[in-house]
Amino acid sequence: MNEFMEENKKNWNERVGIHKKSEFYDVEGFLKGKSSLGRLELEELGDIKGKKMLHLQCHFGMDTLSLARMGADATGADFSDKAIELAKELAEKAGIKAKFICSNVLELDKHLEGEFDVVYASYGVFCWIPDLNRWFEVASHFLKPGGELIILDGHPSNNLYEYSESKKELEIIGSYFNNGPQRFVEDYTYTDGDKMENTVEYEWSHPISEFINSAINNGLRVTSFKEYPFIGYFKYPNMVKNDEDYWVIEGTDIPFTFSMKCVKE
């Protein structure tokens, strides 16, 4: 694991304790039976009952466990040992059967065996990946022939924007293309909760073309690519929540989220 990923791991290990207590994740609600999956995820996933699923970058496993509640044979993987510890704890408390693996996703094929009907990843995933082609190589490796890759995440164009307090609107400040790691210092995570100590993080930008080509390069046929003018968390100060509990900027049609499906040939 390189120095950038090591810094990110420290950052995410600290996030686990903050997120566990946050209203955003609502762990208590989950333990009482609430699903952590939203409308869009459920629509893209469809009927997963009886399917063998691998959830990449699962954080502390609530989505993985929600998949298991829906009848999937679910395995979650994440590079944060603190997250995997909590995932296993929640599985035991909730009485849900699921498997969890602690591994850098780009090295997961060294720590896990088997083939899956579905490989799944959602939200806040790809900005942490320095080598997108390798990510798709790993995803393809774990899919059985005819298996499906389903992903949802923030749209790549999000990297272009920052909210201007003076103008009270978004302005273009970033790069759309992958020009190496960008260093950020963030005192708080995207949830409610305490201030962080491990504030440094490194992120990478990946344009849509990189997603498409990474799929093609690794034996995957793209069957669907959709873009949406909303996102699942409060990203910019001028966002409001719509009737479906998603965040939007009224009067704009900027894509904030995308979904992509691929089938292994």
Q: Summarize pLDDT for 178-232 with one digit per residue, the tens.
A: 888 999 999 999 999 999 999 999 999 999 999 999 999 999 999 999 999 999 8
Q: What is the pTM of this model?
A: 0.94
State the Cα torsion 210-213-214-215 to the nearest 10°. Answer: 130
* pLDDT at residue 54 greater than cutoff 90: yes
Q: Is the pLDDT of residue 55 over 80?
A: yes
Is the pLDDT assigned to residue 1 strictly greater than 80? no
Query: Residue 168 has what pLDDT?
Result: 84
| Averaged pLDDT, 153-171 | 88
pLDDT band at 159 (very low <50, low <70, confident <90, very high): confident
Q: Which amino acid is at 149?
A: L
Give the lowest-confidence range in 88-102, 105-119, 168-182, 245-259: 168-182
- The rounded mean pLDDT for the chain is 95
Question: Please, what are the domains in the chain?
Answer: 3-264 (3.40.50.150)
Determine the pLDDT at residue 96: 98
Residue 187: closest CA among 178, 174, 197, 177: 197
Mean pLDDT (whole number) for 98-109: 98
Closest-CA residue to 36 (of 28, 44, 154)? 28
Q: What is the pLDDT of residues 127-145, one digit of tens each?
A: 999 999 999 999 999 999 9
Report percent pLDDT > 70 for the chain.
Answer: 100
Residue 121 is predicted with a pLDDT of 98
